[in-house]
Amino acid sequence: MNITLHGVAIGGGIAIGRAHLISRSMDDVAHYGLEDAEIPAEMARFDEAVRATRKELEMLWGSIPENAPAELGAFLSLHIMLLGDVTISREPREIIEKQHCNAEWALKLQCDLLVEQFDAIEEDYLRERKNDVLQVVERIFKNLDGHAPQLPAPGDLLDDTILVAHDLSPADMVYFKDSNFAAFVTDVGGATSHTAILGRSLDLPSVIALHHARELIREEEQIIVDGQQGVLIVNPDELVLSEYRRRQRAWRDAKRKLSSIRKSDAKTRDGTVIELLANIELPQDVEVVRGSGAVGVGLFRSEFLFLGRDTLPTEDEQFEAYRKVAEDMKGLPVTIRTMDLGADKNPKWLNHDVADNPALGLTGIRLCLAEPLMFRAQLRALLRASHYGKIKILFPMLNSLGELKQSIAQLDYAKQELHEEGLPFDAEVEVGAMIEIPSAALVVGSFIKHVDFLSIGTNDLIQYTLAIDRNDDSVSHLYDPVHPAVLKLILHTIRTGIKGGVPVSVCGEMAGDPRLTRLLLGMGLRKFSMHPASLLAVKRMVLNTHLDDIAPIAGRMLRSEDPDKIADLLQLLNTEPDV
């Protein structure tokens, strides 16, 4: 009998294969008491397990292949950083000493406390870090038990293997790097979880947040993973299997056709040139960007250079990273966002208390302005690197014209310092403002007099506009990129930029969603920045679009405030023949 489960679609097409269950559980942790004389040895055993876990993670980090997604290294670095946090590496020792209990029980008690604290957090991305903590703790448990993680040898997997797990960590992804498994599904995860981000970057069929898949599926059962619709089918009958084989063939044919347009110019059918750029996290992403056909880097998330470290990166270290990207892009533009730290991304060297609602606290440009020496070191590094390529500087999380002016003043100060020191830089380096807060979108007219370009971060703009946690199952269906209020803010930003002669790009998830490409084109957008894996699908939509044909439908969508009507018009926009 067919069993159908619904979760969050991560993409990667359709896979048909056999389930392989990955078992990992902390539910049956032993609890026993210790005598005073046994406490030092037990704490030493815990310390050794932490050291062994760190060694494992560092070895995995060092074995990441060059063609792996950059997110893999960034997330492994985060796990190494979490391992060094006192709440994981020190507080269980105190529980051992105070409660005279074994290390496993102490670690479980501390883990339960951390999970409870994470569950109480409202901001979605930060709450998703609970899974990262659990993944790190699970590895410590395995080392306390003296057993390796219960994972199959990569060589034992067949190319039709579908991994079924409660969760998969970045370390697991590295472990499986040499295998050819077909897909993966997990019980947990949200749109901003590391599992989701890695799934998108690996371009594997994947569905997350299935809740009970690990319990319902048996080893070697035949399953279908539909990463487009977010559907998992267990034991499909012949009729269902035949239909999904047809869909799989169609998906593979479409993917082959996409490869043929890699070198094509991104032009609409009426000849309008559209700039398709790529988002990156680390310098080594550049190879993937150049292979994707992108005409530049539209968003370099520089904060990933600051994570997974014991100390703040120096100006020279940052300079070398930015220079490498600029040189490797060989004259193509590289937009580098200044560090967007705080909220969910708190390096351990950053000594700031976590706010009750960190997403509304000291984050993004607010943190940079509160730490001017740290900010100016980055600005100096960016300016120095601008001498070696076409670098643009983007300020994130701006709320007001005042914050923008303060940021530009810090940049001018850095320019003056470098000039006095005789260090070369591009004195005309372009500066941009990121529009991801509704207040910034509403006053964007005051911004364009001070910047060279605008970049709309739709992920945060949607959440802040709608007050929707997209990872909360009870309200995630309300997370809507085509909500009338969201569309009005985006349209206002684009039109204001056009009127003021300032280029506007979209660098959030909307830019990489081909279902929204024509809508954004109809709004006047001409620059899209996305994950490299999404670029060809968006390019295909661009090549098959005539702006005059889509204008009437897009206009009706933008004038409507009826969600049902907007949904119908969006479908019409994307199903018009040869539009």
Closest of 501, 459, 507 to residue 480, by C-alpha: 459
194 catalytically annotated: yes
Task: Yes or no: say if 169 and 135 are a contact pair by the CB < 8 Å rule.
Answer: yes
Catalytic residue among 194, 368, 483, 531: 194
Dist. CA 253–CA 255, nearest whole Å: 5
Task: Yes or no: say if 367 and 341 are a contact pair by the CB < 8 Å rule.
Answer: yes
E strand or H helix at 77: helix 70-83
CA quadruple 293, 294, 300, 301: dihedral sign: negative
Residue with tokens 């300020």: 395
CA distances from 517 to 221, 280, 395, 435, 508 (A): 38, 20, 25, 19, 12
Q: Which residues make up each annotated binding site?
A: 301, 337, 436, 459-460, 470
Tokens, residue 2: 């067919």
Task: Yes or no: say if 333 and 390 are a contact pair by the CB < 8 Å rule.
Answer: yes
Tokens, residue 470: 């997209």
Residue 241 CB contacts under 8 Å (≥ 6 apart), including other chains? 16, 222, 224
Dist. CA 530–CA 200, nearest whole Å: 12
Residue with tokens 């509704």: 438
Dist. CA 329–CA 320, nearest whole Å: 14
Which amino acid does the sequence have at 557? M
The pair phi, psi for residue 344, each rounded to 5°, is -90, -10
- Residues forming beta bridges with residue 224, ordered by sequence position: 16, 233
The DSSP secondary structure of 167-187, one letter per residue, reads ---HHHHHHTTT----EEEES
Taking each helix axis from N to C end, the angle separating 70-83 and 124-145, rounded to the nearest 10 degrees, works out to 70
Tokens, residue 444: 């964007």
Q: Are strands 222-226 and 206-208 parallel, antiparallel or unpaired?
A: unpaired
DSSP-derived secondary structure letter, 371: S
Question: Residue 159 class from Cβ within 10 Å (0-12 exposed, 13-18 middle, 19+ buried)?
Answer: exposed
Which amino acid does the sequence have at 525? L
The DSSP secondary structure of 190-229, one letter per residue, reads -TTSHHHHHHHHHT--EEE--SSHHHHPPTT-EEEEETTT
368 catalytically annotated: no
Which amino acid does the sequence have at 463? Q
CA quadruple 192, 195, 196, 201: dihedral sign: positive
Tokens, residue 253: 């044919």
| Active site members | 194, 507
